[in-house]
Structure 1
Amino acid sequence: MDKIIAFLEDNLLSCSWKQYLGQECMGCGMQRAIILLLKGDFIGSFKMYPALYTLIIMFVFLAFHLKFDYKKGHLILRYLFIVNVIIILVNYLIKII
């Protein structure tokens, strides 16, 4: 696991939005939050990018829905998507204020 974390830390992608506009985008912090999560720093990961946990939940549920075809799975996915968008937008607004 240490090799994976070291590889990720050495190969972080740069944000062209931040590079050209000088302001963080709505996805800035996600890579660092994933690294913190892999290191076991759950609180630090949440502070870095709060939507990471709900995104993980959404993608795990999506995988289960595709496998087992839940009756109301599409509605749950829609609500999870809306929650994620709200969290990302609120986090972005807090960053720029």
Structure 2
Amino acid sequence: MKFQLTTFLLGIEDYMLPCLTKQLWGFDCPGCGLQRSLAFLLKGDFSGAFEMYPAIFALIPLFALVILDNFFKINISNKIIVLLSIISVAMVLGSYILKFL
């Protein structure tokens, strides 16, 4: 089982979707690096994931909370979702702007 998972994680980069914005216009979009960052996370390379796409650590709890809130109504979930959304947008835009500087 462990060998199959390791083989899958090592080959996951062969199946990543190319960025249409980068192919058409030649520059990164705000989402560039998300897939590679997720691959780094699955491999256990947390610093590599952060370097590739810093917002990954705000997006994962956000998506997890949204999914959990759909199944189990959590009382304070709306406030947390709004806060995580603001943090995620700020991190995505901040890292995108820093790419161009």
- Structure 2 length normalisation: TM-score? 0.88
1:9 offset after TM fit, Å? Answer: 1.1
Q: Which residue of 2 aligns with 1:29?
A: 33
Identity of aligned residues (%): 37
Which residue, 12, 18, 38 being the options, matches 1:8? Answer: 12
CA distance in 1, matches of 2:75, 2:6: 40
CA distance in 2, matches of 1:54, 1:10: 26
CA distance in 1, matches of 2:32, 2:83: 23
Deviations 1:34-70 (A, max 9, x none): 1111111110111100011111011111122222211
Q: Which residue of 2 aligns with 1:51?
A: 55
- Which residue identity does 1:41 align to in structure 2? D
Unaligned runs of 5+ in 1: none
Residues matched between the structures, number: 97
Unaligned runs of 5+ in 2: none
Which residue, 39, 42, 45 being the options, matches 1:38? Answer: 42
Give the SS at the match of 1:28.
coil
| 1:89 lines up with 2:90 in the alignment | no
CA RMSD, 1 decimal? 1.2
| 1:61 lines up with 2:65 in the alignment | yes
Q: Which residue of 2 aligns with 1:18?
A: 22
CA distance in 1, matches of 2:20, 2:71: 36
1:6 offset after TM fit, Å? Answer: 3.6
